[in-house]
A and B are shown apart, each in its own frame.
Chain A
């Protein structure tokens, strides 16, 4: 509860059974955890989340609880260790579904059904449950059982064919873009389903394809094909209409500055800083002429930026009103007075990695609290609490499950 306003977290009182792993599903449930839901990750130790096995690890020492990747995207969640490879654990998983408002998974199509936790089973256990599957290809269609890896989703979705340079190979976008995009679309879809349930008492199944979620953010490419029969092609950082629209090298090691001008007013402002004489240069007088003479324009700005400090130049351009910003790397972000001043980063104690800085929440609700309440869980950290407190199991039952090797 927000002590100042006395209001509850938006999703307080809702429970999420989280069977997802890697990034897309966990990014969806991260939003639900931020918003106040109790998110319980079901984890099998012998098949732990891929991100638990990946770096970064403090002191270069690996460990399932030490990965910055896992700890970033599982902030605020609980962990129930359950050996899903053993069919006897199914009863526990089903009890958790019975006790949950939302079930989340992101396996390939058919996997949850084979585990005995498909949609028909889940709605039988809990008639008003909302279940979302965030698979790579979607739950139906001829390729629904194809294997999907994050880095391969970017070319599959069409992004690589449009990212990069003319006469150059296709390129990546820098991250497994389909994952967070799928996770956020998934959070929208679950919230909408919660409205419907609130008004009708009815749950539902949501089929989310990461491929489709990513194409939803590619309309200019797809529409170019359907409306003009052409593809936009690869043009680096350039824009089809606006120029300058690029990233220029500055002094120092790998320091760069982005500058964007979208109209004549912004152009005159840029000229006032770079070279007032440019404002009357007919080659650059209008947006079409700037675009037409873009190579010359880029050459002038590249030469102007090359000996200059990226930070100081960004400040000078911004003071005049030009949209300019340096290319931030992790160290720049980490020390950024703006992000720090806004309290964006999250630093909470974790039993194995201590207090580390993590990326925080990009949205703020000024009335009801939205915050990270605890660091990411160690594997199985909440097993006993969930079995006792959520599922109502007594000590004898928990001990026998443990003796049978099901709580690993």
Chain B
């Protein structure tokens, strides 16, 4: 028998209850679950998590137990289906909370009490409990009860205004990034703050309320653009030309490349790499600022060059000279990348029917307590009986609750 010097997983033994829907709460508890925490996810018995309806679905056939986004966001969790709108459902939540270290939810502020998620009430029964609330705008302030989906939050946080236009396309609207990115950002911040509160609890023996505003999560990652206003009275925008070039997308034989010469020495090495063409010595292209001002002209010359290469040729030739170009990776490129294969980034996990699904793997690698998959995402209500019996419900109670529609 092998002997482990200590816990195999960093967060082994930490008990988490998630009452959340869609990306933000699911990604927060996925961080904890994939590092060893025991997470029980509560879903509504009939609706289930929104991610169950979002796909992608293998073969295009809808199946709430095998939606790709749900399978990804809920690895290593057990799932129970409980209706928190009724008192017996809330009692199940309360009993689970008594034995938990963390309850994490994304219920809108106005609905927190009626769903049994009031932090003071839960902590009256378990003072060590950390209760984390994720909401669009936080738990106080004039906007606390406003409704917002992901796109609204990307706009509210100040990020959409930074992207989408540019010379020749200034009529385009502010543009979101692909996917549910406000949700991912809120989820990451919720994981950081929850872990910090749990860590503090190791010393104080006490829990507390943790509050995440998704809007503020976006406003916190605007690079230097917000500061242009308090420092210089300037408002950053997607409109107009970039201050320096080249820092742009160009087309190759077989796809797109991002060419990036921020420093003069990078530009000089690039020009040398492409055989020092005559146009490169024109005064118009003398430094990164004039290259931006004359980007229309420069782009024509550069397009002729990039069209001679494949993306991989140009990427590797540039990187060999320490010029930070990058391919515009397609999903197929990512999945076939030798680098990512060598690192074993992608994880292949069976869906509930046993079909393998390849998805993103560890976002970080711990040498002593590695990220690992211990179980696939649950079917709706897969662990209801198991979890309820662990907290003292008898088989008869469980049958009755199921008949009454409280659980599934």
Query: Judging by beta carbons under 8 Å apart, are A58 and B232 in contact?
Result: yes
How many chain A residues touch the partner (CB < 8 A)? 155
B48 within 8 A of A: no
Kindly supply a per-residue 1/0 record for chain A positions 39-75, scoring 1 wherever the CB is within 8 Å of any chain B CB and 0 otherwise: 0000000000001001111101000000111011000
Please state if A196 and B368 are interface contacts (CB–CB under 8 Å).
yes
Residue B241 interfacial (CB < 8 Å): no
- Nearest-neighbor residue (CB-CB) of A67 within chain B: B224
Residues of chain B with a CB closer than 8 A to A211's CB: 340
Cα of A60 to Cα of B190 in the assembled complex, Å: 37
Q: A220-B69, A356-B230 are in contact. Are A202 and B364 (CB under 8 A)?
A: no
Answer yes or no: A204 CB below 8 A from chain B CBs. Answer: yes
Q: Is A19 at the interface (CB under 8 A from chain B)?
A: no
Q: Does A31 contact B (CB under 8 A)?
A: yes
**Most chain A beta-carbon contacts within 10 A, residue among B209, B262, B328:** B328
Of B91-99, B152-160, B270-278, the stretch lying at the interface with chain A is B152-160
Judge if A309 is at the interface, Cβ distance under 8 Å: no
Q: Which residue of A lies closest to B224 (CB)?
A: A69
User: Are B231 and A172 in contact, CB atoms less than 8 angstroms apart?
Assistant: no
Does A69 contact B155, Cβ atoms closer than 8 Å?
no
Alpha-carbon distance A248/B257, docked complex (angstroms): 31
Given A56-B228, A181-B188, CB of A327 within 8 Å of CB of B174: yes
Q: Collect the chain A residues with CB atoms within 8 Å of residue B177's CB.
A: 159, 163, 173-174, 177
Within 8 Å of chain B (Cβ to Cβ): is A116? Answer: no
Residue B345 contacts which of A151, A186, A212 (CB distance < 8 angstroms)? Answer: A212
Flag whether B253 is at the interface (Cβ < 8 A): no
Stretch at the interface among B178-186, B288-296, B381-389, B393-401: B178-186
B324 to chain A, nearest CB (A): 4
The answer to whether residues A152 and B72 also contact, given A138-B343, A217-B179 and a CB cut-off of 8 A, is: no
Chain A residues closer than 8 Å to B334, beta-carbon distance: 158, 215, 222
Residue of A nearest to B365 (CB): A207
Say yes or no: A332 contacts B158, CB within 8 Å.
yes
- The reply to whether A225 and B232 contact each other, CB–CB distance below 8 Å, is no
B184 closest partner in A (C-beta) = A217
B107 CB-CB contact with A under 8 Å: no
- Is A277 an interface position by the 8 A CB rule? no
* Surface stretch bound by B, among A77-85, A95-103, A256-264, A377-385: A256-264
How big is chain B's contact interface, by range?
A: 35 or more
Q: Is the CB of B230 within 8 A of A156?
A: no
A326: which B residues are within 8 A, CB to CB? 155-156
Interface string of A181-202 (1 = CB under 8 A from B): 1001111110111111011101
Is B207 a contact partner of A367 (Cβ separation < 8 A)?
yes
Check if B159 sits within 8 Å of A192, measured CB to CB: no
Please tell me if the beta carbons of B369 and A196 are within 8 angstroms of each other in the complex: yes
Instruction: Quote the shortest CB–CB distance from B48 to chain A (angstroms).
Output: 14
Contact of B220 with A155 in the complex, beta carbons under 8 Å: no
Q: In the complex, A165→B368 CA distance in Å? A: 44
Q: A206 and B155: CB pair below 8 A? A: no
Fill in one digit per residue for A325-360: 1 if any B CB lies within 8 Å of its CB, else 0.
111111111100111011010000000010011111
* Interface stretch of the complex, out of A86-94, A140-148, A389-397, A398-406: A140-148
Give, as a whole number of angstroms, the nearest-CB distance from A16 to chain B: 14
Do B231 and A353 touch (CB < 8 A)? yes
- Identify which of B152, B222, B258, B322 contacts A260 (C-beta below 8 A): B152
A276 nearest CB across to chain B (Å): 20
Bound: A148/B262 CA distance, A: 12
Query: Would you call A174 and B362 a contact (CB within 8 A)?
Result: no
Q: How far is the CA of A58 from the CA of B234 in the complex (A)?
A: 11
- Please determine whether A325 and B156 come into contact, CB atoms closer than 8 angstroms: yes
Complex-state Cα separation, A140 to B5, whole angstroms: 26
Min Cβ gap B184→A in Å is 4
**Inter-chain contact B195/A191, CB cutoff 8 Å:** yes
B56 touches A212 (CB 8 A): no
- Provide the bound-state CA to CA distance between A57 and B234, in Å: 11
A254 lies within 8 A of B239 (CB): yes
- Bound CA span A65–B209, Å: 36
- What is the CA–CA distance of A353 and B230 in the complex, to the nearest angstrom? 11
Interface check B403, CB cutoff 8 A: no
- Are B260 and A152 in contact (CB-based, < 8 A)? yes
Tell me the chain B residues, 95-137 only, with Cβ under 8 Å from chain A. Answer: 119, 137
Least distance between A349 CB and chain B CB atoms (Å): 14
Nearest Cβ distance between residue B77 and chain A, in whole angstroms?
A: 15
Known contacts being A175-B221, A191-B196, A353-B231, is A219 close to B330, with CB within 8 Å? Answer: no
Q: Determine how close the nearest CB of chain A comes to the CB of B334; give it in whole angstroms.
A: 5
Contacts A72-B226, A364-B211 given; does A170 touch B235 at CB 8 Å? no
Max chain B C-beta neighbours (<10 A), residue from A200, A247, A262: A247
- Beyond A155-B256, A171-B163, A318-B146, whether A226 also contacts B335 by CB under 8 A is yes
**CA distance in complex: A247, B149 (Å):** 13
Interface residue ranges of A115-151 to B (CB < 8 Å): 132, 137-138, 140-144, 146-149, 151
Contact among A23, A153, A195 for B10, CB-based, below 8 A: A195
Question: Which of B11, B68, B217, B363 is A220 in contact with, Cβ under 8 Å?
Answer: B68
Name the B residues within 8 Å of A279 (CB-CB). none
When the two chains form their complex, are residues A152 and B149 in contact, meaning their CB atoms are under 8 A apart?
no
Mark A204-236 against chain B: 1 for CB-CB distance below 8 A, else 0.
Answer: 111111011101111111111111100110101
A-B contacts, 24 listed (Cβ < 8 Å): A9-B200, A10-B200, A51-B224, A56-B228, A56-B231, A146-B324, A157-B329, A159-B177, A169-B249, A173-B159, A174-B163, A184-B188, A188-B192, A191-B199, A192-B369, A195-B195, A198-B199, A207-B364, A207-B365, A219-B68, A222-B360, A224-B331, A367-B197, A368-B200
6 cross-chain pairs, A with B, having the tightest CB-CB distances, nearest first: A367-B208, A68-B227, A174-B163, A223-B68, A174-B162, A200-B6
Given contacts A218-B360, A367-B197, 10 further A-B pairs with CB under 8 A are A174-B160, A181-B188, A202-B6, A212-B345, A223-B72, A258-B155, A342-B213, A361-B216, A363-B211, A365-B209
